[in-house]
Amino acid sequence: MEKIKPGIYRHYKGNEYRVHFVVKHSETGEEMVVYEALYNNEKSKFWVRPAKMWNESVDINEEKKPRFEWVRES
């Protein structure tokens, strides 16, 4: 699995997020990404997502794209 470093990432739908750190689930040991929405999101500002899912590619118009793409240091 590709190492996830802190910084700014762009979601394939266009919004940007700041990754704060990667943590481990206390029961399963699964790596989870703790990140923050850098736009006004009424549902929540902070999120967690499995690292495996963070690193996945998605199919957009029959083209594979990263779910999250590194943009810059925060």
Map out the domains of the chain as residue ranges: 7-72
What pLDDT is stored for residue 51 in this prediction? 97
pLDDT confidence band for 2 (50 / 70 / 90): confident
In words, the CATH class of domain 7-72 is mainly beta
pLDDT at 6 over 70: yes
> The whole model's pTM is what?
0.91
Residue pointed to by tokens 């029959």: 62
Burial class (CB in 10 A: 0-12, 13-18, 19+), 31: middle
pLDDT at 1 over 70: no
